[in-house]
Chains A and B, each alone.
Chain A
Amino acid sequence: MKRRLPPIANAVCVFAALLLLWQSVLWIFSVPSFMLPSPWAVAKAVVKRFPALMTSLSITAEEAGGGLIASVIVGVAIALVFAQSRWVRRMLYPYTILLQTVPIVAIAPLILMWVGAGASSVALIAFIISLAPIIANTTQGLVSVDENLIHLFLMHNASSRQLLFKLRLPYAIPSLFVGIRIASGISVIGAITGELYAASSRVGVGGLGYSIQYASAQLQTDYLFALVLAATVLGFAFFFIVMFLEWYFLHRWHESARTLETE
């Protein structure tokens, strides 16, 4: 058997190479630091303003997380309605697509105007943007149950309640997770977009989006980079939490969940 570097080591090597490239661009073209700070300056900004960074991160995490959880609850409920009949789906499905195609950047100011600036309106934006993939994937899972499994349940004169809880819902869980995985990334984007428009709820501190705008106006480019880094970390964290939950619930029985280490 060949000895190979674990996947994480590969990723670290790429990261180091990128840092090196970044630093060499600075040296070769002597870019002013307000346009592109050095990796070292960014690292210093992270350390120096760590508490503020963490506050921003946690505010955004709460907003995006709240929106995501709400979208799972509401999305599954809507998918259950959609799964009732083809007729309902034909009537309402176009609106799901509408939900997906409406540019969130365009409606974010409207929502802030209607609901008022603050964490709840930002969470609402994250919720709206997360909803479509949850509905679409869960509905797909609910309606694609093997016909013979339904026949099996019918042979035992199963109630619609038994069909739902013992067959359709468990059958749809892998599809639901596909939806949540997509939604987890975009919920963070939605929250940051919302914050870019929202005024801070507290003086001087706000979510990542708010702080990004503030740092950019102040030409604090090193801190701006630190904030972008934090936003990326947050997106990753969401993704990995969802991946873990998916693995936890599905690994014993579902084929897809065995690929955790390769994704």
Chain B
Amino acid sequence: MTLEFVAPQVEFAGVSKIYARGHVVLSALDLTIAKGEFVTFLGPSGCGKSTVLKLISGLTPPNSGTIHVDGMTPKNARETVSYIFQEATLLPWRTVRRNVSLGLELDGVNGDRRREKTASLLDLVGLGAVGDAYPRELSGGMKMRVSIARALATNPRLLLMDEPFAALDEMTRDRLNEELLRLREEQKWTAVFVTHSVAEAVFLSTRIVVLTANPGRVHSVIPIGLPFPRTAGLRTSSEFGTLVLQISRSLREATLQ
């Protein structure tokens, strides 16, 4: 099992990204993310956390350096990658069911296969009962579940998440964190996650990358050795508390730099 996890899935080699007016968002980033990892990027705003995801997905090209996903260019690897955005970004004119099946539809998966897959995912995220509802009838947490189901429907090997739970209340966020890990146990995708919340990062990750801003550089990389499966009780343990403190300190250093 560990052997399988060693192969690199995402490789950054000297990647820089400069936006308009010379603002250096990322500077000479070298980083390898192995299969099966759950890597979270933490950092002050403007440090290029979200840009990392945009680069991996090929939605924006780097100014220098190279990025490989499964040994391919980001655009060629898109088939195996799913992206979960800050908001649920559902199509309001489609029912929950048809939102979940959107990715499959765009990929040209045939009707029966699509229906079957959609139904099983709705059950997986606990939305089996609201398949025919429209997004506006759902709470923020339920919308995010739909978004997760849509992302997982295409069997991704790599899941990119850009502060997906930032807009939710803390209890909903904690619940969804736990479910996300449960889904990961079942489906074994690799995850690259971006958040502002240190506790969320510690709970989810196998490794945390703290970035500095202006220019965006890696400040520190901290492995999180807490064993899986992780459950709600972990949050009150002393190891968890220690890690949160340690990372909060790194984050403060990164912000002050």
Chain A residues within CB distance 8 Å of chain B:
146, 148-149, 151-158, 162, 166-167, 170, 173, 252-255
Q: Please pick, from A151, A153, A253, the residue contacting B136 in the complex, using a CB distance under 8 A.
A: A253
Among residues of B, the one whose C-beta sits closest to the C-beta of A162 is B106
Q: Given A156-B107, A253-B134, A255-B136, does the pair A149, B82 have CB atoms closer than 8 Å?
A: no
Q: Given A253-B134, A255-B136, does the pair A170, B91 have CB atoms closer than 8 Å?
A: yes
CB distance from A98 to the nearest CB of B (A): 34
CB distance from B104 to the nearest CB of A (A): 9
Tell me if B78 and A151 are in contact (CB < 8 A): no
CB neighbours (8 Å) of B59 from chain A are 151, 154-155
Q: How many pairs of residues, A versus B, come closer than 8 Å at their CB atoms?
A: 53
Within 8 A of A (CB), among B62-94: 78-79, 81-83, 85-87, 89, 91-94
Among residues of A, the one whose C-beta sits closest to the C-beta of B85 is A148
Tell me if B134 and A252 are in contact (CB < 8 A): yes
Given known contacts A148-B86, A158-B106, A170-B93, what 12 new A-B pairs fall within 8 Å (CB)?
A146-B87, A148-B87, A152-B89, A157-B79, A157-B106, A162-B106, A166-B102, A170-B91, A253-B92, A253-B94, A253-B135, A254-B136
Q: Given A253-B134, A255-B136, does the pair A153, B91 have CB atoms closer than 8 Å?
A: no
Chain B residues within CB distance 8 Å of chain A:
57, 59, 78-79, 81-83, 85-87, 89, 91-94, 102-103, 105-107, 134-136, 154
Tell me if B91 and A157 are in contact (CB < 8 A): no
Tell me if B89 and A149 are in contact (CB < 8 A): yes
Of the candidates A153, A156, A166, A167, the one having the most CB atoms from chain B within 10 angstroms of its own CB is A156
Distance A141 CA – B164 CA, assembled complex (angstroms): 26
Tell me if B82 and A148 are in contact (CB < 8 A): no
Among residues of B, the one whose C-beta sits closest to the C-beta of A258 is B136
Tell me if A157 and B92 are in contact (CB < 8 A): no
CB distance from A186 to the nearest CB of B (A): 28
CB neighbours (8 Å) of A252 from chain B are 134
Grouping DSSP codes into helix (H, G, I), strand (E, B) and loop, the A interface class, with mixed when no group exceeds half, is helix
Q: Given A157-B78, A252-B134, does the pair A152, B83 have CB atoms closer than 8 Å?
A: yes
Tell me if B106 and A153 are in contact (CB < 8 A): yes
CB distance from A68 to the nearest CB of B (A): 24
Of the candidates A152, A154, A157, A255, the one having the most CB atoms from chain B within 10 angstroms of its own CB is A152
Q: Please pick, from B86, B91, B135, the residue contacting A167 in the complex, using a CB distance under 8 A.
A: B91
CB distance from A2 to the nearest CB of B (A): 28
Q: Please pick, from A146, A155, A170, the residue contacting B57 in the complex, using a CB distance under 8 A.
A: A155
Tell me if A146 and B81 are in contact (CB < 8 A): no
CB neighbours (8 Å) of A167 from chain B are 91
Among residues of B, the one whose C-beta sits closest to the C-beta of A158 is B106
CB distance from A141 to the nearest CB of B (A): 13
Q: Please pick, from A151, A173, A254, A255, the residue contacting B83 in the complex, using a CB distance under 8 A.
A: A151
Q: Given A162-B106, A254-B92, does the pair A151, B81 have CB atoms closer than 8 Å?
A: no
Tell me if B83 and A155 are in contact (CB < 8 A): yes
Of the candidates B57, B83, B87, B93, the one having the most CB atoms from chain A within 10 angstroms of its own CB is B93
Tell me if B82 and A155 are in contact (CB < 8 A): yes
Tell me if A152 and B107 are in contact (CB < 8 A): no
Among residues of A, the one whose C-beta sits closest to the C-beta of B94 is A253
